């Protein structure tokens, strides 16, 4: 039995991720499983959508139909998660009662950093004035100069040409790299 705290991917009905998260958190509390089930995370990020020339912020699920559970894979914790309403199973399980494989630590760090739930700081190779490229989201592929940096929040303000105008955009460090 694996007595180590690891992250696992839980498959849910698409669109029910937050309901399942709430149900799981209540079950952890009522069943006293705080020593085996820790964090339940729906990977959501705020994106800017432009419709009819107007931009608005929307929260998008990066992985529809999935959530992440930080847990020690005991028989009881496994049973509780699998039998929560809205859960269809774990990713990485071969079925037939086989327990799933955990998510690779580095992959999970990338996901948590992207949604702003990682305590570790990102090391960056750019500074104010450097040109950076956006890696993900609706602005992916765009480039611009870094105007400000906030190491505490792990965000940078980058000026991008958006709809023909220079637009300062606040981006997570994890979503940008120095442009060559």
pLDDT(95) > 80: no
3-state secondary structure of 95: coil
**C-alpha 149 chain-centroid distance:** 22
pLDDT(1) > 50: no
Q: What is the DSSP letter of 173?
A: G
The residues that bridge with 172 in the sheet, in sequence order, are 155
Look up tokens 């859960």; give the residue: 87
Task: Please give the share of the chain, as a percent, with pLDDT higher than 70.
Answer: 96
CB 29 within 8 A of CB 105: no
Residues spanned by CATH 2.30.30.30 within the chain?
Answer: 131-178
pLDDT(137) > 80: no
Residues spanned by CATH 3.30.70.940 within the chain?
Answer: 5-114
Nearest to 39 by CA among 89, 81, 75: 81
Q: What is the mean pLDDT of residues 129-138?
A: 89
Whole-angstrom CA distances from 105 to 4, 5, 22, 55 are: 12, 11, 24, 35
Q: What is the mean pLDDT of residues 78-99?
A: 87
Topology of domain 131-178 in CATH is SH3 type barrels. (2.30.30)
Q: What is the mean pLDDT of residues 36-53?
A: 86
Mean pLDDT for all residues in the chain: 88
pLDDT for 129: 95
Topology of domain 5-114 in CATH is Alpha-Beta Plaits (3.30.70)
């Amino acid at each position: 039995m694996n007595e180590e705290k690891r992250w696992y991917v839980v498959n849910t009905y698409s669109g029910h991720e937050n309901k399942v998260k709430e149900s799981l958190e209540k079950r952890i509390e009522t069943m006293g499983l705080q020593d085996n089930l820790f964090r339940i995370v729906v990977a959501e990020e705020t994106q800017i959508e432009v419709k009819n020339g107007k931009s608005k912020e929307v929260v998008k699920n990066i992985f529809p139909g999935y959530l992440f559970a930080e847990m020690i894979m005991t028989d009881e914790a496994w049973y509780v998660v699998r039998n929560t309403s809205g859960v269809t199973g774990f990713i990485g399980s071969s079925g037939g009662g086989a327990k799933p494989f955990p998510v690779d630590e580095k992959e999970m760090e990338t996901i948590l950093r992207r949604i702003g739930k990682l305590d570790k700081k990102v090391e960056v190779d750019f500074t104010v004035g450097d040109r950076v490229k956006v890696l993900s989201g609706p602005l992916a592929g765009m480039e611009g100069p870094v105007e400000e940096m906030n190491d505490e929040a792990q965000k940078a303000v980058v000026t991008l040409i958006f709809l023909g105008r220079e637009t300062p955009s606040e981006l997570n460090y994890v979503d940008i790299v120095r442009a060559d």
